[in-house]
Structure 1
Amino acid sequence: MAYVKKDQAPAQETQRVLVKMTSRNAKAVENVMTELLLHARNEKVVLRGPVRLPTRTLKVTTRKTPCGNGTNTWDTYELKIYKRLVELRAPTELVKKITSFPIDAGVDVAITIPHDQ
């Protein structure tokens, strides 16, 4: 037989929330990630991560000369995209409180709640 305290407040329903950050600047992504982890740990939220997803490198090779005459010289340009992922388990109100801080310019944050709970 389980004992139940009558004065205890009902437990709030926790949700699984995925926070995915994307940026072209690795230092900016790391700064935002450490800020998020600091806020989450202060609120004692159950979390997993950060997971460093593979860096995506986009390359474009172009001719240096605009007209096509002359020797064949080429330039290669690269764009690196850095991604980080964190999973939080917390009530919705607490997630709003944790994620309400200024985010560096150039960092995209996507917050998703998966339905496969």
Structure 2
Amino acid sequence: MPTKTLRITVRKTLCDKGSKTWDHFQMRIHKQLIDLHRPSDIIKQISSISIEPVEVEVTFAYA
């Protein structure tokens, strides 16, 4: 899946005086799709693993 890049450009100074300098910030969002063909209790154990800066979303598709 493609990486989503969010960009924002802001002025360094809060007032109109001074040089017109800018700061650039960006946040990259990486997504991966993993197909697991295992029993649901094993997938629930995998999804319960907690890594602080990572958000995990699990969707069950019953075939």
Give your verdict on TM over 0.5. Answer: yes
TM-score, normalised with respect to structure 2:
0.75
Q: Could you list the runs of 5+ residues in structure 1 that have no partner in the other structure?
A: 1-52
Question: Which of residues 17, 26, 29 in structure 2 aligns to 1:78?
Answer: 26
> 3-state SS of the aligned residue for 1:68?
coil
Matched, 1:95 2:35: no
Quick one: distance in 2 between partners of 1:113 and 1:85?
12
- In structure 2, the CA distance between the partners of 1:114 and 1:102, relative to structure 1 (3 Å rule), is closer
Aligned length: 63
Larger strand fraction of residues: 1
TM-score, normalised with respect to structure 1:
0.45
Bigger relative contact order, structure 1 or 2 (CA pairs below 8 A, ≥6 apart): 1
> 3-state SS of the aligned residue for 1:83?
coil
Counterpart of 2:5 in structure 1 is: 57
Larger helix fraction of residues: 1
The residue identity in structure 1 corresponding to 2:52 is: A
Runs (4+) off by over 4 Å: none
- In structure 2, the CA distance between the partners of 1:63 and 1:85, relative to structure 1 (3 Å rule), is same
Q: Could you list the runs of 5+ residues in structure 2 that have no partner in the other structure?
A: none
> 3-state SS of the aligned residue for 2:24?
strand
The residue identity in structure 1 corresponding to 2:51 is: D
- In structure 2, the CA distance between the partners of 1:75 and 1:103, relative to structure 1 (3 Å rule), is same
Q: Which has the larger radius of gyration?
A: 1
Alpha-carbon offset, residue 100 of structure 1: 5.8
